[in-house]
Chain A
Amino acid sequence: MALLKHTPVEIKERKALTVNPAKTCQPIGAMYASLGIHGCLPHSHGSQGCCAYHRSALTRHYKEPISAATSSFTEGASVFGGHANLIQAIDNIFTVYDPEVIAVHTTCLSETIGDDLNQIFDKARKSGKVPEGKTCLGAPTPSYVGSHVTGFSNMVKAMAQLAEPSGKKTHKVNVIPGWVEPSDMGEIKRLCAMVGVDITLFPDTDGVLNAPLTGEYKMFPDGGVTIKELKKTGDALGTLALGEWCSADAARWLDAKCKVPCTVLDMPFGLAATDRFIDVLRTVAGVSVPDSVAFERGQLVDMISDMHQYFYGKRVAIWGDPDQLISMCEFLVSLDMQPVYVVTGTPGKKFEARIKEICADQPFEVKVKAKGDMFLMHQWIKNEPVDLLIGNTYGKYISRDEDIPLLRWGFPILDRQGHQYFPTVGYKGGLRLLEKILGLLLDRKDRDDPETTFELVL
């Protein structure tokens, strides 16, 4: 019997009830972004449950310790404001854990009360609670606006706002990777190094959320962008923001306030988006792309041509974060696959238009929804099925009920591992995506084929 047995085929419009969301709240995104700063302890300004939930969800996804503190509001703080709690917290954090940076994000509670983080930081500094050379930064992340992606973006913007332009340009390029895996951030660094461009990647969770097991526990692992590097982002040649939803705000702020020209690109998932990334990167940095990059690209093209017969015409339902979905849909279309249902919980009018544009002139009609939920997507699938699901772990219920293979991709992945280590961005990441998709489709075919057509060679 089906697990989601109460989901009816008939679709009725819902105005108030969200069922099986395809998003979560802002602070978790801010917490993840903060972990990409070297020596940073994220701090959740609100009641302790938010911090506990965000730490648990990030831990389950990354399988790594996620240290973060909280203001632990009780009723008093909720009525009189959280100033005292945060100042006490800052004092305790620097005394006990000694981080380089505390990155504070708000919650729906502290936002509703109207706590002003910068005012509290000032007070903490004046009363000597912030040791010399240490940094406090903050981002407003009300949970009732946007989604986890918005929270990520807000914290990344707060990181950009640390910039102290000196007027002297460096030879570096800022790259804002957006909410991708630590492995993806590592791959972006590798690609940029191959092209020969010196970059400041922020945030950078590579080395933080895929740290080795050595018998030692470092609350602050070696990875992450440093405050010194962030201060210099205002002197960079330019900024490449990967993803309109995740990264553009920070890049545009650097452009407007520090005169660092920005280019907003799609996240480099798949062939075309990676091509554009490399092309813009070499233009901004004024370098030529080495053959080794073209070689990797050619390998991806080769694999696409080898596998095309299995991908052609396959119908896909996909959900997740807007920036990821846009690039993935483009990749699927480039394989002659058909992303027929596309859902994000994150709001954004441009999203639907962008997906429709990618799927225009294709031999299928795309159903796309921003501010949608997985319940709706499941109903679409019940009405007309697909061959493949691409999205987070919560899709496994639909996968089992409807007997459709699921590619786990996005956030959160709670029931599989490897995503921390194996990138899906860039040409190499594209190879991995293709390998996984092909595996799923062929495993399915091998399971379903009758004995007569069960074949050794494909």
Chain B
Amino acid sequence: MAKTKKVVQLMPTDIKEELLKKYPPKVARKRAKQILINEATEAEAPPEILANVRTIPGIITMRGCTYAGCKGVIMGPTRDILNITHGPIGCGFYSWLTRRNQTDASSDGVNYMPYCFSTDMQDQDIIFGGEKKLAAAIQEAYDIFHPKGICVFATCPVGLIGDDIHAVSRKMKEKFGDCNVFAFSCEGYKGVSQSAGHHIANNQVFTNLVGENEEPKEGKYKINLLGEYNIGGDGFEIDRIFKKCGITNISTFSGNSTYDQFASAQHADLDCVMCHRSINYVADMLETKYGIPWIKVNFIGSKSTAKSLRKIAEYFGDQELIDRVEAVIAEEMPEVEAARAKVLPHTEGKTAMLFVGGSRAHHYQDLFAEMGMKTLSAGYEFAHRDDYEGRQVIPELKPDADSRNIEEIEVEADEKLYNPRKTADEFKALEEAGFEFKHYEGMNDQMDKGTLIIDDLNQYEADKLVELLKPDIFCAGIKEKFSIQKLGVPMKQLHSYDSGGPYAGFKGAINFYKEIDRLVSSKVWSYMKAPWQESPELTATFVWE
């Protein structure tokens, strides 16, 4: 598609209508509620979006399943827990090293992430039950590898035939004594997206692991980083910055994580939430049970990184930390600014669309803004309404049949370990100064009026949007990549970053600037038509004249 054909002046309502036109009436009615023309900046009551509802059968969705969210996303990046998929071979195979989670095992050398463990269920296991095979598989894994922890993941048929994976795991845990074994009922059909799997994973980690290690952790400013998965090394860059600032990261949930990190999470004095969708409830539970307050942070984008660091420093309120953070920002920013200045002439005024995950579609808009790029349309693959509209809508959210399938765990203040990190007066003083705890304003708030916010975008709508609005770059996942590129528009994967990264923190911002500059400036997009296709009529001039 030649860039000269750019269609402008399409009203958002026209685009919405165009997207819905082809659907059967019932589908169109449902999709209409999931496509929002953003007016959040002016209207008294922000418009409502339909989210976290079932995918329509037959509509080519970007979503994955509960198992993918549980085993792939949350537990995938933990390196010293041995993850066994209980089911036919496929699920284990597809979640084997495909998310580009990086890890550094140099401290103790333990790393099971390059391995794929499965019970490889056969038809006789489906007919007679797979519990015996699961128990034997756990035993074999223990005998060969002697891990600290073994996790078991249920696939679709396991739920159907009713294998009690929890009972098997309990039995094996008791038998071993020195290996924690627990299981996840994360069958793919549960819930409506990956989000259900995140929830199941987090609940089990919270129940079976967090708080286990009572040994105190050293560090003056101790935090946990929640909802960061170390794709392409993001977590490494964030940890580098923390270290430089003198902040101790007790545990990352779950990028480059270890058994002991999870087990020690209760020792932190502040929880910093990156991906709101995948983990906000864990932050709530950590607060209720241990008294650790939480804040929303964002380390995507240099300004967001600086802002988040300042917020952490403000929370601890220690001048030494405040000064250190300012010094680090001052030291890091010149290189970032230099890189930004280099790409700005190529990127300024260009446009982007982002349809990823349950926070990335929001966070990355900061980076694009730093490059002077405007987000024309965005949406989440598996978010809930609060990720769009902000946490204030949470009380309004009514559980439906699908969300009732996902266990909600009740948490109370721990008799021994609950410890409010600040006095009521200290909290009050911070809040009066404008400090926001447990706050997330949602994506809509940041996006321009008239932009299109679309939940659970599908392939048909993605292609249509690109055709109509011709963004300079489109961000989504691997499944979407090549149909967008066939349209002559560069596509950047923001789930796995293609082969790039890190994009978090200061160094990450520089990487991202360069990467986006490469994509939007690449010559390849001008090669779509051969010269004889551009002007097919024969003319009377010859080259040698």
Contact = CB atoms under 8 A, between A and B. Distances in A.
Interface of A: 1, 3-6, 8, 12, 14-21, 23-28, 43, 46-57, 59-60, 63-78, 85-86, 88-93, 95-97, 107-109, 112-113, 142-145, 147, 211, 213-219, 345, 375, 394, 397, 414
Given A19-B117, A66-B479, A215-B1, A24 B24 contact: no
A92 B24 contact: yes
Nearest to B487: A217
Given A92-B59, A109-B188, A19 B155 contact: no
B183 interface: no
A232 B367 CA distance: 57
Contacts of B488: 213, 215
Interface string B522-540: 0000011100000000000
Contact of A12 (B56, B144, B402, B479): B144
A26 B89 CA distance: 9
Interface string B100-137: 00000110011110111111111101100000011111
B58 A91 contact: yes
Nearest to A213: B486
B487 A397 contact: no
A74 B485 contact: no
> Which 10 pairs of residues, A with B, have the shortest CB-CB distance?
A49-B65, A25-B90, A89-B58, A92-B58, A215-B528, A16-B136, A143-B88, A53-B94, A65-B483, A215-B488
Contacts of A96: 22-23, 27, 58-59, 460
Contacts of B56: 72, 88, 92
Interface in B126-161: 126, 133-137, 139-141, 143-145, 155-157, 159-161
Contact of A47 (B97, B189, B527): B189
Given A59-B479, A145-B123, A48 B111 contact: no
B153 to A, nearest CB: 12
A6 B148 CA distance: 14
A50 B188 contact: yes
B61 A70 contact: yes
B116 A20 contact: yes
A290 B103 CA distance: 57
Nearest to A72: B55
Which of A66, A213, A216 is the most central at the interface, judged by chain B CB atoms within 10 Å of its CB? Answer: A213
Contacts of A142: 88, 123
B483 A53 contact: no
Interface in B305-335: none
Contact of B91 (A53, A63, A71, A77): A53
Contacts of A47: 65, 156, 187-189
B120 A21 contact: yes
B160 A113 contact: yes
B478 to A, nearest CB: 5
Contact of A90 (B58, B189, B402): B58
B117 A78 contact: no
B62, B93, B157, B528: residue with the most chain A Cβ atoms closer than 10 Å = B93
28 contacts: A17-B136, A18-B117, A18-B119, A24-B94, A25-B91, A26-B90, A28-B90, A47-B188, A47-B189, A52-B62, A53-B64, A54-B94, A60-B98, A69-B59, A72-B54, A74-B189, A74-B190, A74-B191, A92-B27, A95-B24, A108-B87, A109-B188, A142-B123, A144-B122, A144-B126, A214-B529, A215-B487, A217-B484
Interface of B: 1-2, 22-24, 27, 54-68, 84, 87-98, 105-106, 109-112, 114-123, 125-126, 133-137, 139-141, 143-145, 155-157, 159-161, 187-192, 401-402, 405, 459-460, 463, 477-479, 481-488, 527-529
Nearest to A20: B116
B58 A49 contact: no
Contact of B137 (A17, A49, A109, A113): A17
**Residue of B2, B109, B120, B192 contacting most chain A CB atoms (<10 Å):** B120
Q: Which of A17, A21, A218 has the most CB of B within 10 A?
A: A17
Nearest to A53: B94
**Which of A6, A15, A145, A219: most chain B CB closer than 10 A?**
A6
Contact of A15 (B105, B136, B144, B485): B136
A56 B57 contact: no
Contact of B160 (A88, A109, A213, A219): A109
A107 to B, nearest CB: 7
B115 A49 contact: no
B54 A74 contact: yes
A175 B65 CA distance: 37
A75 B190 contact: yes
A49 B68 contact: yes
Contact of A17 (B93, B140, B482): B140
Given A15-B140, A72-B54, A75-B402, A49 B64 contact: yes
Given A25-B91, A70-B55, A96-B27, 11 more contacts: A6-B112, A15-B136, A16-B137, A18-B117, A47-B187, A52-B64, A56-B479, A67-B459, A89-B58, A143-B88, A217-B484
Contacts of B88: 25, 108, 142-144
B452 to A, nearest CB: 19
A88 B189 contact: no
Given A20-B115, A47-B188, A108 B157 contact: yes
A64 B480 CA distance: 10
Contact of B89 (A71, A88, A95, A143): A143
Contacts of B94: 24, 53-54, 56-57
Given A65-B483, A213-B528, A48 B119 contact: no
A321 to B, nearest CB: 14
Contacts of B59: 69, 92, 96
Nearest to B192: A74
A414 B62 CA distance: 20
A446 B483 CA distance: 42
Contacts of A20: 96, 115-116
A107 B160 CA distance: 13
B460 A21 contact: no
B189 A73 contact: yes
B22 to A, nearest CB: 5
Contact of A14 (B24, B90, B140): B140
B486 A48 contact: no
Contacts of A18: 89, 92, 117-120
Given A24-B94, A109-B156, A16 B119 contact: yes
Nearest to A51: B61
A180 B443 CA distance: 45
A311 B460 CA distance: 51
A93 to B, nearest CB: 5
